[in-house]
Amino acid sequence: MELRHLRYFVAVAEEGSVKLAAERRLHTAQPSLSRQIRNLEHEVGTQLLRRSARGVEMTDAGRVFLDHARLAIAQAHAAVEAARRIAQPAKPVFAIGFLVGHEGDCIPPTTSLLRNDLPGLEVRVFSGFSVDLAEDLLRGRLDVAFLRREPTSDLEFRHVLSEPLVAVLNAGHPLAARASVDPRDLAAETFIGISPVPRILREVVYGYLERVGVSVVPSFEIDNFAMAMSLVQANDGVALLPASIEVYLPPAMVSRPLSGEQPTIDLMLGFRAGNKSPILAKFLARADELAARLRHMNRSQPPN
């Protein structure tokens, strides 16, 4: 079993689609990727992914295998980094975390800023859920992170942008024919809710529904975008998610704005209170400029 097979499997599992994993993350041909996954399943000796016309979902064996695959990849990366540290002179290190779903928007301008202002700096980039990024900031594993405003007095936050929530649904769904979705119509739909893990998003979604007087009983609750898209597709459901998901939607899915009140969720730049790092100070000196650039990019994105 080769490490690349594990990377292929993780990409397909996280995207919920062989096609999307091939095109967006692995930049390879879909038939070749499908063959590699079949070879992996043959070597493991059991089915890891259940395939359908709408994508793939993990079997019970696949879910267990995914955890170990991620760990193996992380350990391989750690081994490479350890070897490089021994072979190369030490460099100042700056670790940045990005909220899942915002990597595409935030990473390019952030790393560009660091390269221009701090040449020779070793930048380490991580991605995760907001609560995990906050914990990594508190423990000193990250210097700065793009995340939600987690409730802790030990972190400081700067506002980056307010992101609207949109309704995500299949392109053939009756509500997709409308320019916007009336939240009152959600009560009659298969509603894909938010689990307690992305707590801030859960509070924003359910708080919005309560304010507009809409009562929903979630058929499922999700904790990541890939799971949300799979459940929407498989059950012809509707989910309320941050608009940043739009760049990840396959052609068979669309997003629609909500009519009336426009609910938003804030993306913040967080860092540990009392962190006296001179690199962090230089980065924060350009934070307002970076936030303005990201807000401009967010407004310029065409609707799906």
Q: Provide the pLDDT for residue 174.
A: 96
CA angle 195/99/170 to nearest 5° reads 55
Alpha carbon separation from 267 to 102, 157, 208, 271, 275 (Å, rounded): 9, 10, 17, 13, 21
% of the chain surpassing 90 pLDDT: 42
Residues 6+ away with beta carbon under 8 Å from 75 = none
* Residue 90 binned pLDDT confidence (cut-offs 50, 70, 90): low
Residues 6+ away with beta carbon under 8 Å from 102 = 146, 244, 267
Tens of pLDDT along 241-275? Answer: 999 888 888 999 999 999 998 999 999 999 999 88
> Contact, 235 vs 207, CB < 8 A?
no
> Contact, 84 vs 249, CB < 8 A?
no
Cα 146 to Cα 134: distance, rounded to the nearest angstrom: 9
Domains and CATH numbers, the chain: 3-86 (1.10.10.10), 89-160+267-300 (3.40.190.10), 162-265 (3.40.190.290)
Q: Provide the pLDDT for residue 63.
A: 87
Is 90 exceeded by the pLDDT of residue 96? yes
> Contact, 164 vs 111, CB < 8 A?
no
Cα 39 to Cα 13: distance, rounded to the nearest angstrom: 16
Tens of pLDDT along 101-143? Answer: 788 888 899 988 888 888 888 899 998 888 899 999 999 999 9
Q: Which of 105-119, 155-169, 200-214 has the lowest mean pLDDT?
A: 105-119
Q: 49-87 burial by CB neighbour count: b if 16+ within 10 A, else e?
A: beeeebbbbbeeebeebbeebeeebeeeeeeeeeeeeee
Cα 16 to Cα 227: distance, rounded to the nearest angstrom: 7
Cα 167 to Cα 176: distance, rounded to the nearest angstrom: 9
Is 60 exceeded by the pLDDT of residue 302? no
